[in-house]
Amino acid sequence: MVLVFVETEGTSLKKASQEALTYGADLASKLNTECSAIAIGSESGLENTGAYGASKLFAVSGAGLNEFTPEGYSEAIHQVASNNNASIVLISASYTGKSIAPKVAVKLSASLTTGVVAMPNTENGFSVRKTCFSNKAFSDVEVTGEKKVISIVPNSYEIKEFDQNAEVVSSDIDVSSFIKSKSVSIDKVQGKIPLTEAELVVSAGRGLKGPENWGMIEELADVLGAATACSKPVSDMDWRPHSEHVGQTGITIKPNLYIAAGISGAIQHLAGVSSSKVICVINTDPEAPFFKAADYGIVGDAFDVIPKLIARAKELKAS
Amino acid sequence: MNILVCLSAVPDTTTKISFVDNDSKFNTAGVQFIINPYDELALTKALELTEANGGEVTIITVGDASVEPVMRKGLAIGAHKAIRVNTEALDGMHVAKCITSAIEGESFDMILTGRESIDYNGGQVAGILSEMLNMGLVNVVTSLTVEGNTITAVRDIDGGRETVSANMPCVISAQKELCEPRIPNMRGIMQARTKPLTVVEYSDSYAETKYTGYELPPAKQGVKLIDAENAGELIDLLRTEKKIL
Ligand SMILES: Cc1cc2nc3c(=O)[nH]c(=O)nc-3n(C[C@H](O)[C@H](O)[C@H](O)COP(=O)(O)OP(=O)(O)OC[C@H]3O[C@@H](n4cnc5c(N)ncnc54)[C@H](O)[C@@H]3O)c2cc1C
Ligand SMILES: Nc1ncnc2c1ncn2[C@@H]1O[C@H](COP(=O)(O)O)[C@@H](O)[C@H]1O
């Protein structure tokens, strides 16, 4: 069995979990086995796990699972995986997933592969493709363990819909004796599209001169329904929040569209964004290295170009 | 406080990545190796904590003798001593086994790692160590304070941040913002030469994941330039040519 850990956001499955489930269903059919989902502690948003490919949903709750801890969650997944003979556990590389995948792998004595971006090749053994060198390359990894834990990069697998319902198997597991940390408080950025899940991203760099000039970046993002990002110096100078910093030492994203204004395109910046499907660059300097990585380029002043983009996007939206 | 910092040596961030031997090996020719940027933060934070609370910082690296200059830099920044596990690092599980074997019999209040290595980007070692050593784990940490036996850490979560408390011993992985990395000074560099760097062996080279080949991402077709005067055309092209708006 392939077991997929899923998370909900509000009343639906997280997009990254929908992807992981589709991936799990496709992998299970390749291996002639079943795909099941496991959700911990959540009550709503799980109705449609079947539609993304799960034939069974293990809904787990119990003492110690009311809030996220790496120990509690990994133990719950471990128990369900062991009791149901899961050969592969899939975990999306969300921050939650990153904290638990290594622990689940140790508990199950399974091989661990993280950063996976494609369906395994099972023709001759089991080989998976992962990112490495901070997205400057891919590598193929041969996985030999009988059990496997695989963590998948968000936005690497296309979501499909399946015409089925998942049988719900609820269980109560007490993991309280495993827990070693406690959540004190949670601070969520409200109402914004999380950068890692965004399909469209508008980003800007030091070329914008100062934080007071981000109004037009936010407006463009707004009309397009995009998230905002920035280069490292911009977040270092506190012009923008750290959570927007993309690149080798920031967040890695692979949206369908990345618009970069006033960003030179240093190799460390590209490392975080080069897997974007379409890249548009706006820069006054025709020699800016970013143009080499771009699909569309506008050599021009962002202060002049961005308002034109906003105007055209609004026009088309209204028509 | 007795703190262990796991330090990996990685290609400098400006490295142009290429491969040799039929794309089966990373080409290290002319590549400069540095302390993994997140590990540099882990080390600096460890030093801040021991300066405030007393104690020692040990750095540990799994790798052959070629990683020693990078380890010496860690000693120059201020680590008190170093352990090198003399074997090629094969994967996260293998690195964690090497580390647990090398520190057997010692007791650390805290193990600090980077959030991930910027070469293999596993993000694995912290979680594996916490499980193997039965310690608490706080991953991707941007702020860390210690009071008595309790740590309070702020970690990144999807769409925000969470404050977490845990007892020591625990494993913490460092994220950007944890602190300002320190640069070694002349005195540090001189002292580093005589600080103890112990080499230990680990002979088990079993790994269940094996890197068999590498590939660079496909090159872009070339940029299509749009006149700044008609910048709005970009929006039309994204709609019609790319169908993404
Ligand atoms: C260890 C390490 C890790 C790093 N990690 C990251 C990372 O994760 N992410 C990251 O982004 N960087 C990272 N960097 C920094 C990186 O090397 C660059 O310094 C940084 O990306 C530059 O940011 P920028 O393009 O915003 O600024 P600049 O390099 O200053 O570029 C500004 C650009 O704006 C253009 N410009 C100026 N005025 C205008 C205008 N009016 N309209 C349009 N264009 C204009 C200029 O021509 C220029 O190309 C890292 C560096 C190191 C050493
Ligand atoms: N060869 C190594 N020796 C010592 N520590 C390592 C090694 N590789 C990785 N680490 C540590 O584990 C962290 C995460 O690495 P990774 O799991 O490879 O992304 C790094 O930031 C280091 O702190």
A240 lines ligand 1 (CB under 6 A): no
The CATH number of domain B2-212 is 3.40.50.620? yes
Q: Can you give the pLDDT at residue A197?
A: 82
Closest alpha carbon to A264 in A284, A249, A279, A246: A284
Atom of ligand 1 nearest to the CA of A248: 8
Q: Which residues of chain A does B224 touch, with a Cβ-Cβ cutoff of 8 Å? A: 295-297
Q: Is the pLDDT of residue B206 over 70?
A: yes
Indicate the helix (H) or strand (E) that contains A258.
strand A257-261
The residues in A 62-81 lying below 8 A from B, measured between CB atoms, are 70-71, 74
- Residues of CATH 3.40.50.620 domain(s) within chain A? 2-178
Q: Is the pLDDT of residue A191 over 70?
A: no
Distance of CA A126 to the CA centre of its chain: 24
The residues in B 118-157 lying below 8 A from A, measured between CB atoms, are 118-128, 130-132, 135-140, 142, 152, 155-157
Lowest mean pLDDT among A193-202, B97-106, B167-176: A193-202
- Residue A265 is classified by DSSP as -
Q: Is the pLDDT of residue B137 over 80?
A: yes
Please tell me if residue A204 touches chain B, with a CB cutoff of 8 Å: no
A120 lines ligand 1 (CB under 6 A): no
Token pair 């103890």 is found at B196
Q: Whose C-alpha lies nearest to ligand 1, atom 7?
A: A247
**Three-class DSSP labels, chain B:** CEEEEECCEEECCCCCCCEECCCCEECCCCCCEEECHHHHHHHHHHHHHHHHHCCEEEEEEECCHHHHHHHHHHHHHCCCEEEEECCCCCCHHHHHHHHHHHCCCCCCCEEEEECCCCCCCCCCHHHHHHHHCCCEEEEEEEEEEEECCEEEEEEEECCEEEEEEEECCEEEEECCCCCCCCCCCHHHHHHHCCCCEEEECCCCCCCCEEEEEEECCCCCCCCEECCHHHCCHHHHHHHHCCCCC
A263 lines ligand 1 (CB under 6 A): yes
Q: Is the pLDDT of residue A43 over 80?
A: no
C-beta separation of A80 from A58 below 8 A: yes
3-class SS at A111?
A: strand
Q: CA neighbours within 13 Å on the CB side: how many for A137? A: 23
Complex confidence, ipTM: 0.93
Task: Please state the rounded mean pLDDT for residues B170-197.
Answer: 96
Q: Is the pLDDT of residue A184 over 70?
A: yes
Q: CA neighbours within 13 Å on the CB side: how many for A287? A: 0
C-beta separation of A271 from A286 below 8 A: no
Closest alpha carbon to A253 in A281, A220, A277, A218: A277
β-strand partners of B10: B34
- Residues of CATH 3.40.50.1220 domain(s) within chain A? 195-318
Q: Can you give the pLDDT at residue B132?
A: 98
- Residue A1 is classified by DSSP as -
Tens of pLDDT, residue by residue over B73-118, are: 999 999 999 999 999 999 999 999 999 999 999 999 999 999 999 9
Work out the pLDDT band at B58, boundaries 50, 70, 90. very high
Q: Is the pLDDT of residue A42 over 80?
A: no
Please give the C-alpha separations between residue A275 and each of A80, A142, B219, in angstroms, as whole numbers: 35, 23, 11
Tens of pLDDT, residue by residue over A280-319, are: 999 999 999 999 999 999 999 999 999 999 999 999 988 8
Q: Can you give the pLDDT at residue A45?
A: 78
The residues in A 242-281 lying below 8 A from B, measured between CB atoms, are 242-243, 245, 248-250, 256-257, 267-268, 271, 274-275, 277-281
What is the dotted CATH code of the domain comprising A2-178?
A: 3.40.50.620
A297 lines ligand 1 (CB under 6 A): no
Task: Please state the rounded mean pLDDT for residues A154-169.
Answer: 91
Domain A195-318, CATH homologous superfamily name and number = TPP-binding domain (3.40.50.1220)
Q: Can you give the pLDDT at residue A9?
A: 85
> What's chain B's average pLDDT?
96
Neighbouring C-beta atoms of residue B227, cutoff 10 Å: 10
Q: Can you give the pLDDT at residue A272?
A: 93
- Residue A99 tokens, joined: 């904290």
Residues whose CB falls within 8 Å of the CB of residue B104, separated by 6 or more in sequence, listed in order: none
3-class SS at A30?
A: helix
With CB atoms and an 8 Å threshold, state whether A298 touches B234: yes
Give dist(CA A225, CA A102) in Å, integer: 35
Give dist(CA A139, CA A147) in Å, integer: 21
Tens of pLDDT, residue by residue over A123-144, are: 989 999 999 998 889 999 999 9
Please tell me if residue B17 touches chain A, with a CB cutoff of 8 Å: yes
Q: Which residues of chain B does A298 touch, with a Cβ-Cβ cutoff of 8 Å? A: 225-228, 231, 234
Atom of ligand 1 nearest to the CA of A264: 49
- Residue A280 is classified by DSSP as E
Tens of pLDDT, residue by residue over A229-277, are: 999 999 999 999 988 999 998 888 999 999 999 999 999 999 999 999 9
Task: Please state the rounded mean pLDDT for residues B162-182.
Answer: 96
Tens of pLDDT, residue by residue over A68-125, are: 999 999 999 999 999 999 999 999 999 999 999 999 999 999 999 999 999 999 998 9
**Three-class DSSP labels, A171-196:** EECCCHHHCCEEEEEEEECCCCCCHH
C-beta separation of A261 from A298 below 8 A: no
Percent of chain B with pLDDT over 90: 95
Work out the pLDDT band at A193, boundaries 50, 70, 90. confident
Give dist(CA A304, CA B121) in Å, integer: 39
Task: Locate the chain B residue with the closest alpha carbon to A140.
Answer: B213
